[in-house]
Structure 1
Amino acid sequence: MAAAGARLRIDKWLWHARMAKSRTLAAKLVEAGHVRLNGRRIDGSDKLVQPGDILTLALPHATLVVEIRALGSRRGPAAEARTLYEDRSGGPGPDETP
């Protein structure tokens, strides 16, 4: 997927991982203060992320805590997007019943 030490803009990663429907919406999510990177609130969609970073997202339907596993090179199908992160929220996943 990406070379060691590679980084990607957070808005682009959120779009690749299908956390937002568009890059513009991903940028608005970040700029509205709904995203934390490694526990710190960020307000600019130009912040760079890398594998190993922890994101906390306050989405309309849930709060997610994910660890970035890969950066991705495109916005692929949902199954491919799920390989970009590991859910650390502790609750049931979207395909699981509580």
Structure 2
Amino acid sequence: MSERQRIDKWLWHARMVRTRSDAARLVDAGHTRVNGQRVTAPAHLLRSGDVVTLALDRSVRVIEVVGFCERRGAARDAAVTYRTLENNAGYRPQGAA
């Protein structure tokens, strides 16, 4: 299994979006941050340990990349590729007051 993956592919595999083209549009529009830095290139490579912040509809998700999949599978398989951070006590996204 690879140690890096394109952000658009990872977002789709992790089931954050319905299609890979939705993932690319989300990134192109500037609605994603990796480790606090805005990312606008769908080909941006993610590594394990990266923190991804997504602006989705009316919510913001903060997740840590913990793994990668070679293809999109069941939701239970996708859930092992990330860890949700926004509800963890003491976690603050970079730039938060």
- Structure 1 residue 61: Cα displacement: 3.5
For residue 22 of structure 2, what is the aligned residue in structure 1? 25
Residue by residue, what CA displacement relative to the aligned partner does 1:16-61 show, whole Å, maximum 9, x if unpaired?
0001111100000001010000100011101000110000000004
Once residues 78 and 46 of structure 1 are traced to their aligned partners in structure 2, the CA distance between those partners, rounded to angstroms, is 23
TM-score, length basis structure 1: 0.86
Residue 78 of structure 2 is aligned to residue 81 of structure 1 = yes
1:26-41 map, 5 Å: 26-41=23-38
For residue 56 of structure 1, what is the aligned residue in structure 2? 53
Once residues 9 and 74 of structure 1 are traced to their aligned partners in structure 2, the CA distance between those partners, rounded to angstroms, is 13
RMSD between aligned alpha carbons?
Answer: 1.1
SS in 2 for 1:30: helix
* Number of residue-to-residue matches in the alignment: 88
More strand by share: 2
- Structure 1 residue 11: Cα displacement: 0.2
Once residues 22 and 87 of structure 2 are traced to their aligned partners in structure 1, the CA distance between those partners, rounded to angstroms, is 26
**Structure 1 gap segments, 5+ residues each:** 92-98
Out of 5, 8, 14, the residue aligned to residue 8 of structure 1 is 5
